[in-house]
């Protein structure tokens, strides 16, 4: 059984290709962070090597080994893997380097050890350096017959077009809140109220919702961050610049914080636009309501655009400090 939520059309296409033995040698799954790209790739790796009837059965030796990350023919390549290879910490890994890709292209030349196919899952392929991407191209162009490459990427603009053009591409969209809510209730045993809250807060990212269901500190950290973000507009220029610099130093939290900032300001926009029932941050409805009427509508629209612009700039490797400082200075003043 596929453990993928909200991407039924992709699953049925993949099932069909496996049943008819029309499997591509390379797939690229793109979509926002935590939308389920990695889970889908892992499930596909299982289905390709599954020994059971209804693939992936999740019960045979191959499925279990792949899920546990110990199958000799399925290699998960990500920044953690690279850290192990280089004997460094995961935090030191900013991009996927050529030596990491070389290690898998060499391994791809070997016959499968116990499975039917060798599968390489390259997570965050958009983080490959140009050299690394070029070295992967050769394998993508002429892969050994037993090799299948599964790439995931959040931002395809950072991928070489020649990489994407050699893969079958599936674009994964954010899942509707109802589907995530149902998943949390039925498969993860959450009560209706908590399932509904986490589904809305997730903004369509199933991976985030499942992590938050398992780990209470995620919601707590989120609340702390929201409190900080709420006072930003009341702070002076220097304090806001100082906040930008602190955020840059906590680089691993920078994207998540910006995502939260965006969800807050988008909710303000929804309230001012007369659709308060569709806000994401359900648990902060009262503060949002109060906040929304403190700003000019046009200022809210402009700032939502500024947050999106900043997110794009960060993905394109603009100096984060500069991008965040500009954003902090763009924060609108309250009109009352």
Catalog residues that contact Zn ion under the rule CB under 5 A: 50, 52, 57, 60, 63
Q: Which is nearer to Zn ion, 37 or 55 (CB)?
A: 55
Interatomic CA distance for residues 22 and 155, integer angstroms: 27
Q: Which is nearer to Zn ion, 52 or 294 (CB)?
A: 52
Which residues, in sequence order, are CB contacts of 55 under 8 Å at separation 6+? 18, 46, 47, 48
Interatomic CA distance for residues 327 and 336, integer angstroms: 22
Tokens of 168: 């079958």
Phi-psi category of residue 91: left, alpha or beta, with phi > 0 → left and psi -120 to 50 → alpha: alpha
Which residues, in sequence order, are CB contacts of 298 under 8 Å at separation 6+? none
At its nearest, how many Å lie between Zn ion and the CB of residue 307? 43
CB 135 within 8 A of CB 102: yes
Q: Which is nearer to Zn ion, 54 or 92 (CB)?
A: 54
Interatomic CA distance for residues 73 and 58, integer angstroms: 17
Query: How does DSSP assign 289-305, residue by residue?
Result: HHHHTTS-HHHHHHHHH
At its nearest, how many Å lie between Zn ion and the CB of residue 7? 20
At its nearest, how many Å lie between Zn ion and the CB of residue 167? 25
Q: Which is nearer to Zn ion, 116 or 308 (CB)?
A: 116
At its nearest, how many Å lie between Zn ion and the CB of residue 62? 5
CB 69 within 8 A of CB 114: no
At its nearest, how many Å lie between Zn ion and the CB of residue 49? 8
For the chain, counts of helices (H) and of strands (E): 16, 5
285-307: b (≥16 Cβ within 10 Å) or e: eeebeebbeebeeebbbebbebb
At its nearest, how many Å lie between Zn ion and the CB of residue 23? 16
Q: Starting from the edge strand earliest in sequence, which strands make up the sheet with 168-171, in order?
A: 74-77, 118-122, 147-153, 26-30, 168-171
Q: Which is nearer to Zn ion, 63 or 331 (CB)?
A: 63
At its nearest, how many Å lie between Zn ion and the CB of residue 206? 22
Interatomic CA distance for residues 219 and 238, integer angstroms: 29
Q: Which is nearer to Zn ion, 32 or 56 (CB)?
A: 56
At its nearest, how many Å lie between Zn ion and the CB of residue 50? 3
Nearest by Cα to 229 from 263, 202, 200: 263
């Amino acid at each position: 059984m596929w453990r993928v939520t909200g991407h039924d059309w992709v699953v049925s296409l993949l099932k069909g290709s496996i049943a008819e033995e029309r499997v591509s040698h390379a797939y690229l799954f793109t979509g926002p962070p935590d939308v389920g790209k990695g889970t889908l790739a892992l499930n596909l790796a299982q289905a390709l090597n599954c020994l059971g009837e209804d693939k992936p059965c999740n019960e045979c030796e191959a499925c279990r080994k792949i899920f546990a990350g110990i199958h000799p023919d399925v290699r998960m390549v990500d920044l953690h893997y690279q850290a192990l290879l280089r004997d460094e910490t995961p935090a030191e890994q900013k991009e996927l380097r050529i030596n990491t890709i070389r290690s898998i292209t060499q391994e791809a030349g070997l016959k499968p050890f116990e499975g039917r196919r060798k599968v390489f899952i390259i997570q965050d392929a958009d983080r490959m350096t140009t050299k690394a991407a070029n070295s992967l191209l050769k394998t993508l162009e002429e892969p050994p017959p037993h090799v299948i490459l599964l790439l995931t990427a959040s931002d395809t603009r950072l991928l070489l077009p020649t990489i994407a053009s050699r893969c079958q591409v599936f674009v994964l969209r954010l899942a509707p809140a109802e589907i995530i809510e149902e998943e949390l209730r039925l498969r993860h045993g959450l009560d209706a109220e908590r399932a509904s809250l986490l589904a809305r807060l997730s903004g369509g990212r199933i991976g985030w919702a499942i992590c938050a269901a398992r780990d209470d500190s995620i919601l707590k950290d989120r609340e702390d961050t929201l409190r900080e973000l709420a006072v930003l507009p009341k702070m002076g220029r220097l304090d806001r610049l100082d906040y930008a610099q602190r955020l840059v130093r906590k680089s691993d939290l920078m994207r998540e914080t910006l995502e939260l900032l965006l969800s807050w300001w988008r909710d303000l926009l929804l309230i001012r636009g007369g659709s308060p029932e569709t806000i994401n941050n359900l648990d902060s409805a009262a503060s949002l309501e109060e906040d929304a009427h403190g700003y000019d509508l046009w200022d809210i629209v402009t700032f939502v655009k500024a947050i999106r612009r900043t997110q794009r700039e960060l993905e394109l490797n603009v100096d984060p400090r500069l991008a965040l400082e500009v954003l902090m200075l763009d924060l609108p003043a309250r009109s009352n």
